[in-house]
């Protein structure tokens, strides 16, 4: 309610992402429609709401804004988020090679955002180029805080799990349930290595 879908942006492990528009002021937004196996799990949805509230309290410029949760006319659950025109770093490095200064800037911006979240006890657990979005001014912003962890805890298997291995920390690969900031630090380092070399980390 209050938004209309204008186009489809892409498909991810958690669902389909559309570009939308806030009807009252014409503000562009991103609308992530959750996959049924996620959206039909009340515990996952409840925890996603709690995670979004926690992240929004951080109020950091390097973390994407979440405007709320809702549903489409057909009943599918969705998350309404800030729309960033630059897409993801995953898409960008498929088209251009980032310079070392650009990678350093990404590292500074993302590390600052993660540090602010960690100070409030919020761990991302899925830092990778796919979840780093670029604003119209070229700044990196972190998206999808905690979603992978919440879905995994619920027992739902997603495409994301097969895509994250290259950036997953050793404790994540060992199946640890309780992880801390070092997990995000490792994943950020793996991400920066990918951005620098253009090659996804491998074991």
**Residues with catalytic function:** 126
DSSP 2: -
The CA distance from 203 to 192, in Å, is 16
CA nearest to 122, candidates 184, 190, 79, 69 = 184
Q: What angle do CA 154, 158, 159 make, to 5 degrees?
A: 165
Q: Which two tokens stand for residue 50?
A: 């709690």
Phi and psi at 12, nearest 5°, equal -130, -175
């Amino acid at each position: 309610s209050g938004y209309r879908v204008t186009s489809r942006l892409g498909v991810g492990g958690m669902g389909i992402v559309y570009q939308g528009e806030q009807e009252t002021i014409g503000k562009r937004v991103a609308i992530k429609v959750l996959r049924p196996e996620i959206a039909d799990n009340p515990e996952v949805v409840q925890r996603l709401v709690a995670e979004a509230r926690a992240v929004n309290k951080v109020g950091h410029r390097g973390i994407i804004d979440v405007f709320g949760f809702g549903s489409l006319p057909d009943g599918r659950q969705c998350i309404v988020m800030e729309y960033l025109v630059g897409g993801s770093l995953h898409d960008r490095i498929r088209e251009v090679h980032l310079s070392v200064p650009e990678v350093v800037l990404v590292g500074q911006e993302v590390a600052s955002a993660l540090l602010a979240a960690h100070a409030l006890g919020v761990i991302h657990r899925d830092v990778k180029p796919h979840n780093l979005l670029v604003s119209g001014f070229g700044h990196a912003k972190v998206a999808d805080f905690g979603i992978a962890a919440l879905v995994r805890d619920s027992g739902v298997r997603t495409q994301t799990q097969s895509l994250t291995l290259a950036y997953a920390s050793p404790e994540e690969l060992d199946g640890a349930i309780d992880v801390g900031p070092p997990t995000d630090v490792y994943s950020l380092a793996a991400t920066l290595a990918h951005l620098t070399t253009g090659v996804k980390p491998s074991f």
